């Protein structure tokens, strides 16, 4: 039964995840933190951070992590299928319509509306992640470094690697302190 709810939950999220992986945060928080209580807010942010550091689509990585946590290997597969199936169905049904309508004013207006909604969802994600990450001086320092780095249009991989390394070092120090 848990596998069915994993599939159903991710199918619902995948059906409304316009704009990419970051837009799923509000939907997953509502579904898995508030409604089902399968994750804490901190676990949600941790899974999201881990999903961002690995190659591939963030929403699919996230579905695999959560599905694996709740249903093992099969749960991960079921969750990924639930996440991607709505997009596959939509693309297959609408591919021939979109090819001829991409310059139509109504289509362009609809896309502009979706872009606004996606921008708001990404802003919400930014605020949520900032609340969880900026609890220490080193978190703030890393955020300022990453902002400046990316502002100059340099590769975002470097701040991610440095932040992961700093986090690992701090975790090791904490672990030694509490031995």
Q: In terms of domains, do 79 and 158 share one?
A: no
From CA 138, how far away is CA 122, in angstroms rounded? 24
Q: In terms of domains, do 82 and 113 share one?
A: no
Q: Given this model, what pLDDT does residue 147 score?
A: 85
- Show Cβ contacts of residue 19 under 8 Å, excluding neighbours closer than 6 positions: 114, 115, 117, 118, 121, 122
pLDDT-flagged residues of the chain (< 70): 19-22, 100, 173-179
- What are the pLDDT digits (tens) for 88-129? 998 888 777 777 677 778 878 888 888 888 888 788 877 877
Q: Give the structural domain span for 21.
A: 2-100
Q: Given this model, what pLDDT does residue 10 score?
A: 93
Q: Given this model, what pLDDT does residue 166 score?
A: 82
Q: Given this model, what pLDDT does residue 20 score?
A: 65
Please report, to the nearest 10 degrees, the dihedral formed by the alpha carbons of residues 109, 112, 114, 120 taken in order.
-150
Q: Given this model, what pLDDT does residue 151 score?
A: 87
Q: In terms of domains, do 25 and 48 share one?
A: yes
């Amino acid at each position: 039964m848990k596998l069915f709810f994993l599939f159903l939950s991710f199918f619902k999220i995948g059906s409304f995840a316009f704009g990419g992986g970051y837009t799923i945060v509000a939907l997953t928080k509502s579904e898995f933190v508030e409604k089902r209580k399968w994750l804490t807010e901190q676990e949600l942010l941790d899974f999201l951070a881990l999903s961002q550091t690995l190659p591939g689509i963030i929403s699919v990585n996230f579905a695999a992590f959560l599905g694996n946590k709740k249903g093992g290997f099969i749960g991960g597969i079921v969750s990924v299928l639930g996440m991607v199936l709505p997009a596959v169905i939509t693309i297959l049904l609408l591919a021939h319509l979109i090819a001829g309508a991409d310059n139509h004013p109504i289509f362009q207006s609809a896309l502009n509306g979706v872009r606004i909604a996606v921008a708001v969802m990404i802003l919400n994600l930014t605020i949520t992640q900032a609340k969880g990450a900026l609890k220490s001086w080193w978190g703030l320092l890393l955020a300022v470094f990453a902002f400046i780095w990316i502002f100059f249009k340099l590769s975002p991989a470097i701040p991610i690697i440095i932040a992961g390394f700093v986090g690992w070092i701090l975790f090791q120090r904490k672990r030694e302190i509490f031995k």
